[in-house]
Amino acid sequence: MAEVKIDNLNKSFGSVEVLRDIDLTIADGSFVVLVGPSGCGKSTLLRTIAGLETVSGGEIRIGDKKVNDLAPAAREIAMVFQSYALYPHMDVYGNMAFGLKFAGTPKAEIDRRVGEAARILKLEALMKRRPRELSGGQRQRVAIGRAIVREPKVFLFDEPLSNLDAALRVNTRIEIAKLHKMLKATIVYVTHDQVEAMTLADKIVVMNKGRIEQAGKPLDLYYKPANMFVAGFIGSPAMNFIEGEIGEVTEKGYSVRLADATSVNFTGNGVRQGHKVTLGVRPEHLAVGGTGDLKLEGRIDIVERLGETGYAHVSTGSGKPIIAEVRGGETGEPGQAVTLTATLGHTHLFDEAGQRIG
Amino acid sequence: MAEGTAARGSDVIGTSRASHALMLLFFLGPAVAIYTLFSIYPLIATIVLSTFDEGQGGVRSFVGLDNFRTLLFDPLWSKPFWNALLNNCLFFLIHMLVQNPIGIALAALLSLPRLPFRTGYRTLIFMPTMLSVVIIGFIWQLILSPLWGISKGFLNFFGLGSLFAPWLGQEESALVTLSLISVWQFVGMPMILIYTALLAIPDDLTDAATVDGLNQIRTFFYVKLPLILPTIGLVSILTFVGNFNAFDLIYAVKGALAGPNFASDIMGTLFYRTFFGYQLQVGDPAMGSAVATLMFIIILIGVMIYLFVIQRRIQRYSF
Amino acid sequence: MRRKLGPLAVHLVLGAYTLLAIFPILLVLYNSFKSRKAIFGSPLALPGPESFSLIGYQKVFADSAVPLYYFNSISVTVTTIFITLLIGAMAAWALTEYRFRWNTLLGIYLAIGIMVPIRLGSVSILRLVADMNLVNTRTALILVYTAQSLPLAIFILSEFIAQIPKDLREAARCDGVSEYTIFFRIILPLIRPAMATVAVFTMIPIWNDLWFPLLLSPGGGKQTITLGIQQFIGQYVTDWNAVLAALSVAIIPVLILYALFSRQLIRGLTSGAVK
């Protein structure tokens, strides 16, 4: 296994810039997830690491080797594709052994590696089957098996769970997490699903429009998002955003006047009166009733009940309805007037440019 | 025709059986009539005719398989027949060995990602296929003609001038030359068909092969080629049917006698000559029908083999 | 890093073959505008002011009825396409839409014609045409070519019609519209793309065909352009100017058509083969 270091990477397709100033270190043995909306460049970044795309500027190092000009096979990487990309005309054994055969690996060694991978992934009974005779989940395991037998320095996963149904996705997610621990592999994993990112990653890299918005441990991104994009992307349902303005500024702190005229007091400085800000608070941190530094009055539009948990959509004076998590026993009927509260520690403040304040 | 949903077609409620039948007649009648009259009936009539002898006065008498026996074994008839059949096989072989591999190679090159001028190449290479076989035949006759000297000059450029010969006029080389002319004209067809099949292969598969360490050439032979075998099978049977039905080129360049000395005679020209007559040979419709029937059987066998053996064996992969 | 085959090599091969493909045609075309001396003296040179000559064309247009042949080819081809499309669409519609006893069988019956070459029945076709007094007529050609084109046309149109949502027809029926109206007013306009494809791959083989014009209408001023050129060249085999001009006369219209419609033409011809 090896560390992957990306320095100042830029990539353009013709005149279109798709990756900008990417600086990223992926520690040896860590599980790094590249996450972001469609078109953010995460797959392109993965492909440049793989060697399937050229770079327009910058450097990629795997281990201690600069790999910019090396072919994918020479970089000692292995890739699991979203569509699995299994060779339809070969059976499972053939699919896994294919690359090794061409590398000149002796048959005994091929057998050993394929057998080992099959054992880990529970594919032994399927070795003679063709891809079309396999279910989606089985095909995916074969695709992973094909990657394992290469004994690569880095594993690259390109949205591997997107084509699976919901239940299978959860199971396979756990399998992949276990695989990571067992192989102690360096994994770079691309997904658009932030749940996968949160549960699997040692480090999450949130990307948007070709740039890295924030990279860090999952809970760091959850509790301290660096900007509104990350704040709104991580966490489901998304964070609530309320427009506001800086009111009085004193030495100790400042107040923020929200659109519905309530005020919240913050400590800290670096702001000026009249600045436009946005206050963010997650649905799970809002309580119905109770006390808190943040108080929002409103009326319930609708409550979506998922069982023990539910989400109340509350119209306040501040524009879009606020979503608050409600637990089973609590009441919540449409039309009901409520007060939503949250502690200061659970609020986030973002400036006009969307960057975090404090 | 249309497969699929459980209920095929629909019943139109509220119309009487008579008017329903009339409507079907209206829609199907003309097509079925013309097709039957000018396609199926003549074919059957030809096969039937092949079992008769028309005699000199046009007197018909049933002779069963005599015509075929004559055609296959009587030296007067069988020599030209077997000559034409073997020539046709050679014609077909050259197409399979030259036209199709070149078509595949061109398709492989055309399907490379991010190739500039791709459409231009495709359009230009396909151009000869558009033109009439007759035209093509004449063009090459001129180019290969020793009188014009273009071919000799061209070979001279490479220092191979001594190789030049009036290939079209020589017995040994006439058929091969004509086959190559035909190949030259029709390479576009397998090229486009296989190109389309190659495009259907998902890029992911090529990427996976690259990650597995295969270069482009190996990717083509070990990944792409197995997946386009069904199309290659299709191309082969189309070549087969087309070749054993061919006529225009030989006739245009060599006339119905398919010279020199019948060296370029194939089934099509034999058929024409037998049935129509030419110069010293009187036309014999019954024998001509026999030739046609044999051609039909040969083509039928080829198609059967394709449908029941090749299509079954070759796996069609859908993506 | 992926490029095992350098782009240069690829273009070299493709370029070389493209040259091989078009050069003979170009050669004929520009030599047809040269004087006899220039044709033999400097065959590869383009026609210049001294070598330019239209003598070949003059002969072609004087001694053969080229405009007439064109007219014949065009009328035969266009009429055949029209009839094929009309009755082919009608048959395809009935086969796809209506359930009746011999539906499947009829479909297979019509499909036979796709694989079996119609030429094999020529002996009987000629007799039939003679019996109907249609020798040396364009009508004979039209009928034969229609029969030849119908199977594939019906097959392709059927597939296309099958994709038209059922709801359209059911709604029309609910409105009390007659089946005939449904076909002519609703279905026919909807299958225009498929008809264009069918027109294309029907057109080329008919235009270029030598066999049936040779058999059925070799004289009487009803020759098609392909046959006409073949006869003309047969006559003037030693007159290179005339031969080159004749070939060019046959080529140029097709090339123009091809230049305008190459994508559709290629797609049409090959989709026909694939089906």
pLDDT in tens, B27-55: 889 999 999 999 999 999 888 888 887 76
The pTM score is 0.80
Judged by a CB distance cut-off of 8 A, whether residue C176 touches chain B is no
State whether A83 and B223 contact (CB < 8 Å): no
Highest mean predicted confidence (pLDDT) among B55-59, C48-52, C90-94: C90-94
My answer on whether omega of the bond before A237 falls inside 30° of 0, hence cis, is: yes
What pLDDT score was predicted for residue A232?
A: 92
- Contacts of residue C223 in chain B, CB cutoff 8 Å? none
Q: Which of B130-139, C83-92, C202-211 has the highest mean pLDDT?
A: C83-92
d(CA C210, CA B181): 17
Which of the residue ranges A259-268, B151-160, C15-24, C224-233 has the most confident prediction, judged by mean pLDDT? C15-24
pLDDT at B1: 40
pLDDT reported for residue B3: 38
A102 vs B: CB within 8 A: yes
SS3 B10: strand
Interface of B with C in 48-67 (CB under 8 A): 49
The predicted pLDDT at position C274 comes to 62
Query: Which pLDDT value is given to residue B8?
Result: 41
- Tell me the CA distances in angstroms from A216 to A230, A351, B78, B144, C86, one per residue in order: 11, 21, 87, 74, 68
Confidence of residue B4 (pLDDT cuts 50, 70, 90): very low
Q: What residue of C is the nearest CA neighbor of B150?
A: C43
- Which tokens belong to B9? 């077609």
Band of the pLDDT at B147, cuts 50, 70, 90?
A: confident
Give me chain B's average pLDDT, please. 82
H/E run at residue B188: helix B188-199
Instruction: Name the amino acid, one letter, at A22.
Output: I
Strands (E), chain B: 52-53, 61-62, 277-278, 281-282
- A339 to chain C nearest CA, in Å? 52
Rounded-to-integer distance, Cα B35 and Cα B213, Å: 55
Predicted confidence at residue C1, as pLDDT, reads 38
The answer to whether the peptide bond before residue A37 is cis (omega within 30 degrees of 0) is: no
Q: Do B42 and C124 touch (CB under 8 A)?
A: yes
Assigned token pair, A45: 């970044």
Residues of B within 8 A of C93 (CB-CB) are: 27
Q: What is the pLDDT of residue B9?
A: 46
CA A339 to chain centre: 33
Q: Percent of chain B having pLDDT more than 90? A: 17
- Rounded Cα gap, residues A82 and A144, in angstroms: 11
**What is the rounded average pLDDT for all residues in chain A?**
89
3-state SS record for chain A: CCCEEEEEEEEEECCEEEEEEEEEEECCCCEEEEECCCCCCHHHHHHHHHCCCCCCEEEEEECCEECCCCCHHHHCEEEECCCCCCCCCCCHHHHHHHHHHHCCCCHHHHHHHHHHHHHHHCCHHHCCCCHHHCCHHHHHHHHHHHHHCCCCCEEEEECCCCCCCHHHHHHHHHHHHHHHHHHCCEEEEEECCHHHHHHHCCEEEEEECCEEEEEECHHHHHHCCCEHHHHHHCCCCCCEEEEEEEEEECCCEEEEEECCCCEEEEECCCCCCCCEEEEEECHHHCEECCCCCEEEEEEEEEEEECCCEEEEEEEECCCCCEEEEEECCCCCCCCCEEEEEECHHHEEEECCCCEECC
A350 has which bridge partners? Answer: A278, A356
Structure confidence at residue A95 (pLDDT): 93
CA–CA distance, B298 with B89 (Å, rounded to integer): 11
Asked if residues A84 and A137 have their Cβ atoms less than 8 Å apart, the reply is: no
Nearest Cβ partner of B10 from C39, C97, C210? C97
Size of interface A-B (CB pairs under 8 A): 59
Which residue of chain C has the CA closest to B112? C10
CB contacts, 8 Å: C229 with chain B: 134-135
Neighboring chain B residues of A78 at a CB cutoff of 8 Å = 211
Gyration radius of chain A's alpha carbons: 24
Q: Which whole number is the average pLDDT over B176-189?
A: 90
Smallest CA–CA distance from A69 into chain C, residue: C1
Residue recorded with tokens 């034409």: B84
| pLDDT for C155 | 85
3-class SS letters over C172-222: HHHCCCCHHHHHHHHHHHHCHHHHHHHHHHHHHHHHHCCHHHHHHCCCCCC
Interface of C with B in 26-55 (CB under 8 A): 27-28, 39-40, 43-44
CB-CB contact of A7 with A24 (8 Å): no
Percent of chain A with pLDDT over 90: 47
Please check whether residue B107 touches C, CB under 8 A: no
User: How far is residue A205 CA from its own chain's centroid?
Assistant: 7
CB hemisphere CA count around C11 (13 angstroms): 9
Judged against a pLDDT cut of 80, whether residue B191 lies above it is answered with yes
Of B205, B210, B226, the CB nearest to A72: B210
Tokens of C66: 């080229």
CB within 8 Å of chain C, chain B residues 137-156: 138-140, 142-143, 147-150, 153
CA B276/CA A215 separation, integer angstroms:
85
Per CB distance under 8 Å, which residues of A are interface residues toward C? 51-52, 54, 69-72
Residues β-bridged to residue A277: A244
Mean pLDDT of A80-106: 91
Task: Record the tokens describing residue C169, joined without a space.
Answer: 């027809």
Contact criterion met (CB below 8 Å) for B50 and B289 = yes
Q: Which of C90, C125, C255 sits opposite B38 (nearest CB)?
A: C125
Specify the pLDDT at position A230.
Answer: 94
* pLDDT at residue number C179: 82
pLDDT for the residue numbered A207: 94
Number of neighbours of residue B214 by Cβ within 10 angstroms:
24
Residue appearing with tokens 């009328």: C75
| Residues sharing a CB contact under 8 Å with residue B82, sequence separation 6 or more, in sequence order | none
- For B91-111, b/e burial (b = at least 16 CB within 10 A) is bbebbbebbbebbbbbbbbbb
Q: What is the pLDDT of residue A210?
A: 92
Indicate yes or no: CB of B26 within 8 angstroms of CB of C87.
no
Contact between C95 and C103 under an 8 Å Cβ cutoff? The reply is: yes
Report pLDDT digits (tens) over A2-49.
888 888 899 988 888 899 999 999 999 999 999 999 889 999 999 999
Structure token digits, residue C227: 């046959």
Going C266 to C272 to C274 to C275, the CA torsion angle's sign is positive
> pLDDT tier at C188 (50, 70, 90 boundaries)?
confident
User: Can you give the pLDDT at residue B10?
Assistant: 52
Contacts of A150 in chain B (CB under 8 A): 212
CB nearest to B28's CB, from C3, C22, C94: C94
Q: Alpha-carbon distance A117 to A307, whole Å?
A: 40
Any idea which of A174-178, B111-115, C9-13 has the lowest mean pLDDT? B111-115
Average pLDDT over residues C187-215: 84
Cβ–Cβ below 8 Å for C265 and B130 = yes
Tell which residue, B172, B170, B168, B173, has the closest CA to residue B252: B168
For C229-263, the pLDDT digits (tens) are 888 887 877 787 888 888 888 888 888 878 877 77
- The CA–CA distances, whole Å, from B156 to A87, B139, B160 equal 49, 20, 5
Which residues lie below 8 Å from residue A355, measured CB to CB, with a gap of 6+? A226, A227
Q: Which chain C residues are Cβ-neighbours of B45 within 8 angstroms? A: 121, 123-124, 127
Where does the pLDDT of residue B208 fall: very low under 50, low under 70, confident under 90, or very high at 90 and above? very high
Q: CATH topology for B84-318?
A: MetI-like fold (1.10.3720)
Given a contact cutoff of 8 angstroms between Cβ atoms, the answer to whether B182 and B131 are in contact is no
Tokens 């429009």 sit at which residue? Answer: A209
Are the C-beta atoms of residues A96 and A115 closer than 8 Å to each other?
A: no
Which range among A206-220, A237-251, A314-328, B171-185 has the greatest average pLDDT?
A206-220
**Mean pLDDT along residues A75-94:** 91
Say how far residue A145 (Cα) sits from the centre of its chain: 24
Lowest mean pLDDT among A231-235, B77-81, C44-48: C44-48
Complex ipTM tops 0.90: no
Of the pLDDT bands very low, low, confident and very high (cuts 50, 70, 90), residue B318 is low
A146-155, B129-138, B202-211, C256-265 — which is least confidently predicted? C256-265
Residue B173, pLDDT above cutoff 60: yes
Is residue B129 a contact partner of residue B188, using CB atoms and an 8 Å limit?
yes
Residue C133 has pLDDT above 60, yes or no: yes
Look up residue A310 and give its two tokens.
């539910």
CA distance B142 to B151: 9
**Does position B248 have pLDDT exceeding 60, yes or no?**
yes
Coil, strand or helix at C134: coil
Confidence of residue B11 (pLDDT cuts 50, 70, 90): low
Checking if the pLDDT of B297 tops 70, the result is yes
Lowest mean pLDDT, pick from A59-68, A151-160, C184-193: C184-193
